[in-house]
Amino acid sequence: MKSLGKKLYRKNGNYNGRVKLPSGSWTFRAIKNRDGSEITSETAARDRLIILQAEINSGEVRESETQRDSENQRVDPILAGYASAGFPTKRYQRVRESVDLRTSFDHLQRFFGGLIPENIGLPECDDYVVYRKRVAAENGRGTGERVAEIDLQNMSSAFNWAVRKRKLRKNPIRERERYQDPATVVHCTAHMPMTSEALHDIAAELSPVLRHQCLLEAFTGGRTGEILKLKAEPEINTPGFYNEDYLWIDRSKGGINPFVVMHEPLKRLLSHAKAYRDQHHPHSAYLLPGKDGISSVHGDSLTQALRGACKRAGHPKVISHGLRAFYVRCLRSKGLSDTEIAIRLGHRSGVRLIESTYGLAEPKWIGENKLDFMPKDVPAAWERN
């Protein structure tokens, strides 16, 4: 039997794992998929070994699927039911949809799906963090602590939903520990364009549709999901409709004020984006058509494209939420108070969230007009070849 490290072994082409039983003794178990089929990759085997140990720790390991208790007692149907309901928020039970949510629940299903909710506790949460850290290390993206924290919060939300639907008596991880040290969180203001020239230089390196998306997020403070809902031929007062005063937008996260205050650069950008859509993708209902020319841009497209654009433009890393921070910084520069900015961003919680999310304004910044949406002495990104 060949050791692959970290309690995983291979013999005659099959994977085996060394697991610790509740009695404290150690034994070997064949590592297979839940349906009994063979696992064909080492990565999948490592994931399954972590899950198997978690099942053993919680007393939920079974020799076959036919020995399972009622499926209603498992995490599987709870996560699936919550997803089918549209991932409703605790407040107002508003439905949501995003690629990040789907990815999060794919991992949660994979790890916790076969367990009974009432038997999930801190050890299982600890095991999940180990699993997510390993996935992050293999993908070369972050430490895994942030996504693990978000995933567990998502599962807690699913359990809260199940309690309301009388599927569970209580949320078993309501009092769970937190896994990310607040001191390690990178603030969105650390990854925003610091000047309008930087913003337009980066946007100019993007494809035309993503260029429009990037600038729309910076010019409106809108979240990615909100911007991607803008329609090219909207009905009056629906997302994408605009006049001399406002651009209508569908606020996410329970936001208020379904519109953005119009300004001249935003009007010029909207006009250019609409003209591009009309010329190249006239059959799409969206202002920002995706690669197929019909549906909207994928939710992760700008995030991925910004990495390469920043390198090509010779600028530090910029993230999508950093574009929202740019909008806040620009409005402060023009003399708007944080109370007014909160209203324009649709923040229900008001000025306190502005200060906690985007920090206090720099000294001698508010009202000094040091930053604008348009670059000085160079063309706007959409005017460049």
SS3 217: helix
Q: Which residue has the higher pLDDT, 274 or 139?
A: 274
How far is Cα 272 from Cα 53, in angstroms, rounded to an integer?
56
Q: Report all structural domains of the chain as residue ranges with CATH numbers, in order of start.
A: 2-184 (no CATH), 190-383 (1.10.443.10)
Residues forming a β-bridge with 89: none
- Cα 159 to Cα 90, 100, 252, 314, 320, distances in angstroms: 11, 19, 22, 45, 30
Exposure string for 286-297, b = 16+ CB within 10 A, e = fewer: bbbbbeeeeebb
Question: Which of the four pLDDT bands, split at 50, 70 and 90, describes residue 59?
Answer: low
Residue 34 has pLDDT above 80, yes or no: no
Question: Which of the four pLDDT bands, split at 50, 70 and 90, describes residue 186?
Answer: low
Mean pLDDT of the chain: 87
The 10s digit of each residue's pLDDT in 230-240 is 999 999 999 99
Query: Which of the 8 DSSP states describes residue 9?
Result: E
Cite the DSSP H helix spans in 245-298.
264-280
Residue range 186-198: mean pLDDT, rounded: 86
Residue range 220-229: mean pLDDT, rounded: 94
| Pairing mode, strands 2-5 and 8-11 | antiparallel
Residue 28 has pLDDT above 90, yes or no: no
* Nearest alpha carbon to residue 77 among 47, 96, 105, 104: 105
The 10s digit of each residue's pLDDT in 258-311 is 999 999 999 999 999 999 999 999 999 999 999 999 999 988 899 899 999 999
Q: Which residue has the higher pLDDT, 59 or 115?
A: 115
How far is Cα 229 from Cα 270, in angstroms, rounded to an integer?
14
How far is Cα 318 from Cα 315, in angstroms, rounded to an integer?
8
Question: Which of the four pLDDT bands, split at 50, 70 and 90, describes residue 119?
Answer: confident
Q: Which residue has the higher pLDDT, 148 or 353?
A: 148
Q: What DSSP letter does each residue of 73-132 carry, written as one string?
A: GSHHHHHHHHHHTT---TTTT-----HHHHHHHHHHHHHHTTS-GGG--HHHHHHHHHHH
The 10s digit of each residue's pLDDT in 97-109 is 777 888 999 999 9
How far is Cα 225 from Cα 297, in angstroms, rounded to an integer?
10
The 10s digit of each residue's pLDDT in 64-90 is 333 334 344 789 999 999 999 999 887
How far is Cα 100 from Cα 129, in angstroms, rounded to an integer?
17
Q: Tell me what pLDDT residue 69 has.
A: 40
Is the distance from CB of 191 to CB of 317 less than 8 angstroms? Answer: yes
Q: Please, is 146 exposed, middle or buried when counting C-beta atoms within 10 Å of its C-beta (0-12, 13-18, 19+)?
A: middle
CA torsion sign for 154, 129, 58, 34 is positive
Q: Which residue has the tokens 């013999």?
A: 11
Q: Which residue has the tokens 């600038």?
A: 215
Residue range 355-364: mean pLDDT, rounded: 79
Q: Six-digit token pair at 221?
A: 């403070």
Question: Which of the four pLDDT bands, split at 50, 70 and 90, describes residue 336?
Answer: very high
* Nearest alpha carbon to residue 117 among 71, 165, 164: 71
